[in-house]
Amino acid sequence: MSKAAGDPERAVNGLLSVAQILDEPRLARLYTFVLRQDEVTIDDVVDALELPRTTAYSDTGTLVELGVLSRDEERKTHRYSAVPVTLTANLDGNEYTVTPTLIEAFGRSSQDQDLDLLIERHGLGKLAAALTYAIPYAEGKMSERLAARELDLQPAFAIAVLHALRDVVLDMQTVDPYVEDIQSARNRPPETEG
């Protein structure tokens, strides 16, 4: 009897975990905060994210249950660390990889009006699409004007979104071990600016 490659139970549970994180900006912010810090305590979370202590305990517990945070219970004061996640979706040949960078962008939406409005009006998929243009823009490989035009949004709004996402890309490029897996507009033939 042959056995399927990989662990389907773990894969589906991972999918559901990422989906839950991408449904609540507060969980996304907490996850990427811990990822950036390597190890944190509840006090670190309360201070940095300005969360009530009960919320910090509840949210870290949720992320531990989802399998994206681990809790070191060896010490009196528990320490939390993050497990870098990646999830690749393929639908009709269109592939996109969710990494901590998209999770960070979503987490910032609760504090950034432009990202919040983008998600509210156009959905999480548009945020992912915008991120594919923000990467080459942040790297200096695509002009702001071209990237904004490709987003098919009102130009001033597209530029504001690109500015917010540029900060996300720059902040996460040394933290996200899968940042190179994110689909990027730099991988497509560039259109000429006119």
pLDDT tens readout for residues 103-143: 999 999 999 999 999 999 999 999 999 999 999 999 999 99
Claim to verify: residue 62 and residue 112 sit in the same structural domain: no
Band (184; pLDDT cuts 50, 70, 90):
confident
Percent of the chain exceeding pLDDT 70 equals 92
| Range 10-25 average pLDDT | 89
Band (5; pLDDT cuts 50, 70, 90):
low
Report which of residues 170 and 94 the model is more confident about. 170
Q: Answer for the pair 143, 194: CB distance below 8 angstroms, yes or no.
A: no
> How far apart, in whole angstroms, are the C-alpha atoms of residue 157 and residue 54?
37
For residue 1, being part of any structural domain is answered with no
Q: 154 vs 94, 120, 158, 166, 184, CA distance in Å?
A: 25, 15, 6, 18, 21
pLDDT tens readout for residues 21-74: 999 999 999 999 999 998 999 999 999 999 999 999 999 999 999 999 999 988
Claim to verify: residue 45 and residue 118 sit in the same structural domain: no
The closest of 177, 187, 182 to 165, measured between CA atoms, is 182
Q: Which of 82, 111, 136 is the C-terminal boundary of a domain?
A: 82
Query: Which residue range is the domain that position 43 belongs to?
Result: 8-82
Band (192; pLDDT cuts 50, 70, 90):
very low
Band (163; pLDDT cuts 50, 70, 90):
very high
> How far apart, in whole angstroms, are the C-alpha atoms of residue 164 and residue 20?
23
CATH at 43: 1.10.10.10
Is the pLDDT reported for residue 190 higher than 50?
no
Per the structure, the count of domains in the chain is 2
Band (76; pLDDT cuts 50, 70, 90):
confident
Grouping H, G, I as helix, E, B as strand and the rest as coil, residue 94 is: strand
For residue 121, being part of any structural domain is answered with yes
